[in-house]
Structure formats: C-alpha cells, structure tokens
Structure 1
Amino acid sequence: MNLENPSRENMVYMLNELQKKLTMANTSVMNPDAFELNVYEDMYDLFEMVMRKERFSINEMEAIVSELGSLRKK
C-alpha cells in the first residue's frame, strides 16, 4: 500500500492504524467520514510522526487529538 497517494482507502487505513497505536477510548474522533481528502497530506504527516514514536506523553496525546480535530470537516 502506497500511502503517499491520496485516497479514501488510504485515509481509512491511516485512521485505523492511528487508533490502534494511540489506543484511544473515544474513537468518534477517528471516524473516516469526518475527514475530507483535501487534508490528506496533513493526515499523512501526522500519521508518519505518530508511527515513528513508541510512547506519548499526555501533552503529546492532547496535541495529536487536537490536530485530528482541526483536520475534521467543519
């Protein structure tokens, strides 16, 4: 799977992987229908950063969730 190519399938994959990695209780923030393809590049950058790290502080988790929230449809 080439995640550098924007597609709905890739967006769903990244959101599922982020959800697993972050072990989030509130999964509604990760609903693929809440994201447009025009934020794909930002989502991909966030995905790459999260996948590189092993652990996250509470502040980092809050920042990640905040960033995801800013990428959602308005």
Structure 2
Amino acid sequence: MADLNVNTMDNTEYMIEEIKKKLRMATGAALKASQLNDEQYDDLRDIYEMVASKNQFSISEIEAITMELGRLRRA
C-alpha cells in the first residue's frame, strides 16, 4: 500500500474509493479526488482512518460521515 502520509492524487482517489466501499455508498456523495485541495487531504485521511478502523456503522454515523465528505467537496 502507498504511504498515505504523502498527498498525491492516487492516494486521494484510493481513500475515497475505500470509504465508498466500506460504507457501501453508491455515489460517495459524488466526491472526486480532483475536487479536494491540499488543505483537505488531512481531513480526508482522518475520515479514511476512522472508517477503516471500524467494522460496522450506525445510520447516524454514516450520515455524519456523508455530511463531512460533502463539506469537503464544497469547501
């Protein structure tokens, strides 16, 4: 696996895809790696690490994660 401490487009795309798979999100809130700027990379990595560390999510957790991903997209 790549070093996710390094901000690259490939790493961003990888984390987004893994979050979408883990949460079983069809559209991933239409989040694309190209929509994020450098300051948002650490926020995305924090979300990715939290999602990767859990096996199950409540509906409210999924909603909160989705809202946070949407905030990244609009920022």
Q: Give me the TM-score of the superposition, normalised by structure 1.
A: 0.88
Show structure 2 runs of 5+ residues with no match: none
Show structure 1 runs of 5+ residues with no match: none
Q: Deviations over 1:18-53 (max 9, x none)?
A: 111111123343322222222000110110000000
Deviation beyond 6 Å, 4+ runs, structure 1:
none
Give the Cα separation in 1 of the matches to 2:63 and 2:29.
15
Q: Say what the alpha-carbon RMSD is for the aligned residues.
A: 1.4
Q: Give me the TM-score of the superposition, normalised by structure 2.
A: 0.87
The answer (yes or no) to whether the contact 1:21–1:51 under 8 Å persists in 2 is yes
Q: Across the two proteins, how many residue pairs are aligned to each other?
A: 74
